[in-house]
């Protein structure tokens, strides 16, 4: 009977071994001498946990013998041979008694391998971002005994403070070999874009600022009017300070409108975007808007009872008086099915651009302020569909809300699923909206 070993290594480097005994019939190697005395066999090398860590030298003496390793004949002319390849090797000595003499030699001369997938080397992550560590250890010889990182695999790595950081993993195999790998990554702050002033006349200059951290690949501001500003490519778009930098950019708007300003900063492996809503650019000489009529209030418009629908009536006027930077006028809106009546108390701004007028202000609902004790806020969009010979219908939108703990609580919006600066509006069921040209 002979004892034989089976070794299996999976994709992660885990090693399993077992041994069996069974009858063996050698059909390849024939002894060069008749059976004689038992061979004297010696094995030398550095041993750790039954593994030879720098190779093994097998010495055979006491007679004329032949040897095989894993079925391959060995040169015994010098009385010894060396096994240097990693693995579990089956050695057979022929020519002695019993014939053959069989034993196993386990060799592991190489260090385990470490691969770190997350954090990515050179990658960038957001302050406080929860990203799980992802790493692998493998060993094709004795197998991985331990694979230890700064945090266990699958547990978020450190993003608690900004700066450059190192994440290391150390692997040890059963033969005592070890190796380590590390990944350098960077943690940055999120953007916080602000634009001032947020209300300005055509031709005036707006200034955008935001903190930016560390080394980025690109930083671009989109002013919302079709123009952009790239740091490093324009004098009006700069970053001062490092690593805690401040981005500053300036822009003069040439046309009235309500603009969303967006900053996009690209790092290695991370893109940050922040949007400031909204910059309002007005032209006091651009005219004024009046409107009166009704719409069919859609389902979902009235928050307290979204199922209510029916006729809602409105009337408004908004204009800039000569020499003023705040518009004047009043707005009324009534949805009888909900017993909902809004009346403005003040305007903040008015923008007239083409066939579209939009203004924002404050007011009351059914004669009362919001539950917070402040006035309700509102904006109104009026579209003069037949301006300049067009045959499009007039349209109207009003949104009424108040703020609670920094969040908007919408009371009424007849285009609830649309964003604030959308052109979406409800076609009038009666009446008209008229944008009046200015008198130069």
Residue range 194-282, CATH number: 2.60.40.10
Output the tens digit of pLDDT for each of the chain's 440 residues.
Answer: 444 445 554 555 454 555 444 434 333 333 334 445 778 999 999 999 999 999 999 999 988 899 999 999 999 999 999 999 999 999 999 987 767 899 999 999 999 999 999 999 999 999 999 999 999 999 989 999 999 999 999 999 999 999 999 999 999 999 999 999 999 999 999 999 999 988 888 899 999 999 999 999 999 999 999 999 999 998 899 999 989 999 999 999 998 888 889 999 999 999 999 999 788 888 877 678 989 999 999 999 999 999 999 999 999 999 888 778 889 999 999 999 999 999 999 999 999 888 899 999 999 999 999 999 999 999 999 999 988 667 889 999 999 999 999 899 999 999 998 987 788 999 999 999 999 876 55
Q: Is 1.10.40 the CATH number for 6-107?
A: no
Class of the 113-188 domain?
A: mainly beta
Q: What pLDDT, on the 0 to 100 scale, is given for residue 410?
A: 97
Around 135, how many Cα atoms within 13 Å sit in the side-chain half-sphere? 30
Neighbours of 65 (CB within 10 A): 23
> Residue 331 in contact with residue 397, Cβ under 8 Å?
no
Please, which residues have CB within 8 angstroms of residue 143's CB and are 6 or more apart in sequence? 9, 13, 14, 15, 16, 173, 174
Please, which residues have CB within 8 angstroms of residue 136's CB and are 6 or more apart in sequence? 12, 13, 114, 115, 117, 147
**The overall pTM is greater than 0.85:** no
The token pair that represents 407 in the structure block: 């969040």
Q: What is the C-alpha to C-alpha distance for residues 351 and 259, in angstroms, rounded to an integer?
A: 11
> What is the strand order of the sheet 80-83 is part of?
40-44, 56-61, 80-83
Q: What pLDDT, on the 0 to 100 scale, is given for residue 200?
A: 85
Q: What pLDDT, on the 0 to 100 scale, is given for residue 199?
A: 80
Q: What is the C-alpha to C-alpha distance for residues 209 and 263, in angstroms, rounded to an integer?
A: 10
- What are 221's strand-pairing partners? 229, 263
Measured in degrees and rounded to the nearest 5, phi and psi for residue 387 equal -65, 140
3-state class (DSSP) for residue 331: strand
Q: What is the C-alpha to C-alpha distance for residues 255 and 282, in angstroms, rounded to an integer?
A: 8
> Residue 142 in contact with residue 15, Cβ under 8 Å?
yes
> Residue 381 in contact with residue 397, Cβ under 8 Å?
yes
């Amino acid at each position: 009977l002979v004892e034989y070993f089976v070794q299996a290594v999976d994709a992660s480097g885990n090693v399993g071994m077992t041994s069996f005994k069974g009858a063996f019939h050698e059909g390849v190697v024939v002894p060069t001498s008749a059976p004689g005395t038992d061979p004297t066999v010696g094995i030398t090398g550095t041993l750790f946990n039954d593994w030879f860590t720098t190779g093994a030298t097998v010495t055979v003496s006491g007679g004329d013998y032949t040897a095989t390793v894993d079925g391959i004949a060995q040169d015994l002319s010098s009385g010894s041979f060396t096994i240097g390849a990693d693995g579990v090797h089956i050695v057979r000595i022929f020519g002695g008694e019993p014939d053959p003499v069989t034993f196993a030699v386990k060799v592991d001369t190489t260090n385990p391998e470490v691969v770190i997938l997350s954090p990515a080397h050179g990658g960038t992550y957001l302050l406080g971002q929860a990203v799980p560590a992802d790493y692998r250890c493998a060993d094709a010889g004795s197998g991985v005994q331990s694979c230890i990182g700064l945090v266990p695999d699958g547990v978020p790595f450190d993003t608690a403070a900004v700066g450059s950081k190192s994440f290391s993993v150390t692997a040890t195999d059963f033969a005592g070999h070890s190796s380590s790998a590390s990944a350098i990554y960077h943690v940055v702050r999120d953007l916080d874009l602000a634009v001032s002033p947020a209300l300005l006349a055509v031709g005036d200059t707006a200034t955008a600022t935001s903190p930016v951290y560390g080394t980025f690949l690109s930083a671009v501001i989109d002013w919302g009017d079709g123009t952009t500003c790239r740091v490093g490519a324009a004098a009006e778009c700069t970053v001062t300070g490092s690593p805690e930098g401040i981005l500053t950019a300036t822009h003069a708007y040439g046309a009235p409108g309500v603009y969303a300003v967006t900053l996009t900063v690209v790092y290695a492996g991370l893109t940050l975007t922040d949007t400031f809503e909204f910059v309002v650019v007005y032209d006091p000489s651009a005219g004024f808007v009046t409107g009166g009529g009704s719409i069919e209030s859609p389902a979902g418009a009235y928050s307290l009872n979204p199922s209510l629908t029916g006729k809602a009536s409105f009337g408004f006027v908004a204009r800039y008086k000569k020499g003023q930077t705040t518009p004047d006028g009043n707005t009324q809106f009534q949805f009888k099915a909900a017993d909902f009546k809004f009346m403005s108390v003040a305007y903040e701004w008015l923008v007239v651009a083409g066939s579209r007028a939009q203004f924002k202000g404050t007011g009351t609902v059914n004669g009362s302020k919001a539950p917070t004790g402040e006035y309700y806020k509102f904006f109104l969009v009026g579209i003069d569909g037949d301006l300049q010979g067009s045959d499009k219908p007039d349209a109207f939108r009003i949104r009424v809300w108040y703020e609670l703990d920094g969040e908007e609580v919408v009371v009424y919006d007849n285009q609830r699923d649309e964003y604030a600066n959308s052109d979406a509006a409800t076609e009038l069921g009666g009446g008209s909206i008229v944008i009046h040209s200015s008198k130069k």
